[in-house]
């Protein structure tokens, strides 16, 4: 599904990502781990179109997407969350999900103004999808609350729902467990696995919580100082001496 070949990203004199390759097959959860500043978020920013990589190829379903703008990449079915939650805080919870779908579908302004039957039908579908996902992430009863007033763990779940209403093929989660308590992390674990099992979504995960990573990942890629250090199954990575020395030993 996703095939990243020798991805590089240079910021002036700093080579933040240096020849990183990874791939994700359908129905897989793949994690990218590594010490702080290793380049994980920069890889995400390149994949999701926030940065134009300075080298390498990104193939999504066989199509080259490196350098394409973020809205085009998300319309192809690759969507992401952010390390620091980015919701529309002044809007209600349900409005956040409606806006996500509008932006995704590139809704026609004129059709919206005169409310054509086709437009109404789409609006109804958007609302149904929003309600479905709010229920699915346990936020339905908070639908009319301002997003900014939700507890942190709830905002994180809303971010995932906001991705899911656009029906992605690949979901990229940047440190989704950061700031969550153990009970919330356990819920997150179950949610991510069910996205894969029940909705056939592939997941690319950046995460520092090693118990979560080891539990749900099919494969793991480790990067260190921008460079690929190792990749394999959780048990292969856990036993890799280089990984232990560079990261796991201190994690
Ligand atoms: N826009 C930018 N301009 C300049 N340097 C940047 C930029 N974005 C990231 N960097 C640098 O690239 C390197 C990799 O950063 P990145 O945020 O990708 O690491 P990370 O592995 O995600 O770290 P963390 O686990 O702390 O989130 C760092 O040295 C960072 O300072």
85 vs 6 pLDDT, higher one: 6
Measured in angstroms, how far is the CA atom of residue 98 from the centroid of ligand 1? Answer: 32
Residue nearest to atom 29 of ligand 1 (CA): 37
**Polymer length of the chain:** 251
43 CA closest ligand 1 atom index: 18
Q: How far is 80 from 44, CA to CA, in rounded Å?
A: 8
**Rounded mean pLDDT, 180-199:** 94
**Rounded mean pLDDT, 84-101:** 86
Is 56 a residue whose pLDDT tops 70?
yes
**What is the per-residue pLDDT for 9?**
96
Measured in angstroms, how far is the CA atom of residue 42 from the centroid of ligand 1? Answer: 6
Grouping H, G, I as helix, E, B as strand and the rest as coil, residue 20 is: strand
ipTM: 0.94
**What is the per-residue pLDDT for 104?**
64
User: At residue 238, what are phi and psi to the nearest 5 degrees?
Assistant: -60, -30
User: pLDDT-based confidence at 88, cuts 50/70/90?
Assistant: confident
Cβ(11) to ligand 1 under 6 A? yes
Among left, alpha and beta (phi > 0; psi -120 to 50; other), residue 232 is left
Cβ(96) to ligand 1 under 6 A? no
42 CA closest ligand 1 atom index: 18
Measured in angstroms, how far is the CA atom of residue 37 from the centroid of ligand 1? Answer: 5
Q: How far is 45 from 80, CA to CA, in rounded Å?
A: 9
**What is the per-residue pLDDT for 168?**
94
**Close Cβ partners of 165 (under 8 Å, ≥ 6 residues apart):** 97, 100, 101, 126, 129, 130, 133
Measured in angstroms, how far is the CA atom of residue 157 from the centroid of ligand 1? Answer: 25
Check: CB of residue 57 under 8 Å from CB of residue 37: no
34 CA closest ligand 1 atom index: 21
The runs of H, that is alpha helices, within the chain are 40-47, 70-76, 93-105, 109-114, 117-136, 152-164, 182-199, 210-216, 234-238, 241-243
- pLDDT (tens digit per residue) in 140-159: 999 999 999 999 899 999 99
**Any idea which of 1-10, 95-104, 114-123 has the lowest mean pLDDT?**
114-123
Is 251 a residue whose pLDDT tops 60?
no
Query: Rounded to the nearest 10 degrees, how much is the dihedral formed by the CA atoms of 92, 41, 186, 136?
Result: 40
Distances (CA, A) of 247 to 7, 34, 104, 229, 238: 22, 6, 38, 10, 10
Cβ(8) to ligand 1 under 6 A? no
The fraction of the chain above a pLDDT of 70, given in percent, is 95
105 vs 97 pLDDT, higher one: 97
- pLDDT (tens digit per residue) in 26-38: 999 999 999 999 9
Q: How far is 241 from 70, CA to CA, in rounded Å?
A: 37
| Nearest-5° Cα angle at 98, 93 to 101 | 135
Is 116 a residue whose pLDDT tops 80?
no
Domains in the chain: ranges and CATH: 1-77+169-251 (3.40.50.300), 87-167 (no CATH)
Strand bridging mode 14-24 / 2-11 = antiparallel
Element (H, E) at 2: strand 2-11
The runs of H, that is alpha helices, within 64-181 are 70-76, 93-105, 109-114, 117-136, 152-164
Report the residue among 15, 16, 206 best suited for mutation to probe ligand 1: largest number of ligand atoms under 8 A from its CB.
16
Q: How far is 14 from 115, CA to CA, in rounded Å?
A: 51
């Amino acid at each position: 599904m996703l095939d990243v070949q020798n991805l590089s990203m240079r910021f002036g004199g700093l080579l933040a990502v240096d020849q990183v390759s990874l791939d994700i097959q359908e129905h897989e959860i793949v994690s990218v781990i590594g010490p702080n500043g290793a380049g994980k978020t920069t890889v995400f920013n390149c994949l999701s179109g926030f940065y134009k990589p300075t080298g390498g190829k990104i193939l999504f379903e066989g199509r080259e997407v490196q350098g394409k703008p973020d809205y085009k990449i998300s319309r192809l079915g690759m969507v992401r969350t952010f390390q620091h939650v980015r919701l529309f805080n002044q809007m209600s919870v349900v409005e956040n999900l409606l806006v996500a779908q509008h932006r995704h579908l590139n809704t026609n302004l004129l059709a919206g103004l005169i409310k054509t039957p086709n437009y109404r039908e789409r609006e109804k579908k958007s609302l149904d999808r929003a309600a479905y996902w709010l229920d699915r992430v346990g936020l339905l009863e908070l639908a009319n609350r301002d997003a900014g007033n939700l507890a942190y763990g709830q905002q994180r779940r809303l971010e995932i729902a906001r991705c899911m209403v656009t029906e992605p093929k690949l979901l990229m989660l940047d440190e989704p467990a950061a700031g969550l308590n153990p009970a919330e992390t356990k819920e997150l674990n179950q949610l991510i696995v069910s996205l894969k099992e029940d909705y056939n979504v592939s997941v690319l995960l950046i995460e520092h919580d090693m118990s979560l990573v080891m539990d749900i990942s099919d494969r793991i890629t480790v990067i260190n100082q921008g460079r690929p250090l190792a990749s394999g199954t959780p048990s292969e990575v856990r036993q890799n001496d280089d990984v232990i020395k560079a990261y796991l030993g201190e994690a």
